[in-house]
A and B are shown apart, each in its own frame.
Chain A
Amino acid sequence: MLLSHAVTLAEARSYVAALADAALTTDASIEYDRVLLQIDFIHGDYIPGISPVPVTDRDVLFEVAESAIEDLVKHGVDSLTVELVLDMLYAARELDAP
Chain B
Amino acid sequence: MYGETSGMLRDALAELLRQHRIQQRIGGAGLHTVPETTTVDERKAIGEQIARYRYAVLVWCDQAMRAANPRINLEGSTGRTRGPAEELRYRLARTLGGVEVDLPTMDELVTEQPFGLVDTWREAARACVLGEHDFNNGVGYGRLSEAECLTVIKDAADVIRALVGLDRRYANIPGWHLLKEPGRLGRAAETCVTWAGYGEPDYTVDLRGWNPAPTLIEGPRLPGITGVLQAQHNLLIHLGTFPTAQNLRVVLDSQRIVSREAARRLQPIDPALAARWERRGETYGRLVRETRDIGGLIGNGGPAAGQGSVAAARMEKLDRDGLSEAPQVRRFQRISGGIDERVRNVIEHGIAARLYFQRISVPGLNDYNDELVYVARQKFVPITSPVKTELLAIVRSDLRPTPIQRKAPTGAAQSRLDFEAALHHRPPPRGASPDVPSI
Contact = CB atoms under 8 A, between A and B. Distances in A.
B285 A10 contact: no
A26 B376 contact: no
Given A45-B245, A45-B246, A50-B293, A33 B376 contact: no
Interface residues of A, number: 25
A68 to B, nearest CB: 14
Chain A residues touching B, majority SS: helix
A92 interface: no
A47 B380 CA distance: 11
A17 B290 CA distance: 11
Chain B interface bracket (under 10, 10 to 19, 20 to 34, 35 or more) = 20 to 34
A9 B361 CA distance: 13
Interface stretch (B176-184, B252-260, B405-413): B252-260
Contact of A45 (B244, B281, B360): B244
Contacts of B233: none
Contact of A49 (B249, B296, B359): B359
Interface string A11-33: 00100010011000011011001
A13 B359 CA distance: 13
A45 B256 contact: no
Interface string A48-75: 1111000000000000000000000000
Contacts of A29: 285
B375 interface: yes
A31 to B, nearest CB: 10
B256 A30 contact: yes
Contacts of B281: 26
Given A33-B253, A48-B359, A7 B376 contact: yes
A37 B250 contact: yes
B253 A30 contact: yes
Interface string B235-252: 000000000111001100
A34 B249 CA distance: 10
Interface in B295-329: 295-297
B289 interface: yes
A37 B295 CA distance: 13
Given A30-B256, A37-B249, A37-B253, A48 B292 contact: no
A44 to B, nearest CB: 8
A14 B317 CA distance: 31
B3 to A, nearest CB: 44
Given A37-B249, A41-B246, A49 B378 contact: yes
Contact of B297 (A33, A37, A45): A45
A50 B292 contact: yes
Greatest chain A CB density within 10 A among B245, B293, B296 is at: B293
Nearest to A16: B292
Contact of B257 (A3, A13, A30, A49): A30
A14 to B, nearest CB: 9
Nearest to A29: B285
A89 to B, nearest CB: 16
A85 interface: no
Contact of A48 (B244, B256, B376): B376
A43 B288 CA distance: 19
B360 A21 contact: no
Interface in B338-363: 359-361
B168 to A, nearest CB: 72
Given A21-B289, A37-B253, A45-B297, A51 B361 contact: yes
A40 B257 contact: no
B333 interface: no
Interface string B144-184: 00000000000000000000000000000000000000000
A49 B378 CA distance: 6
B366 interface: yes
A49 B260 contact: no
B295 A26 contact: no
27 contacts: A21-B289, A26-B260, A26-B281, A30-B257, A30-B285, A33-B253, A33-B289, A34-B253, A37-B246, A37-B249, A37-B250, A37-B253, A41-B246, A45-B244, A45-B296, A45-B297, A47-B295, A47-B359, A47-B378, A48-B359, A48-B361, A48-B376, A49-B359, A49-B360, A50-B292, A50-B293, A51-B376
Q: Which 6 A-B pairs have the closest CB atoms?
A: A49-B359, A49-B361, A48-B378, A49-B293, A49-B360, A45-B295
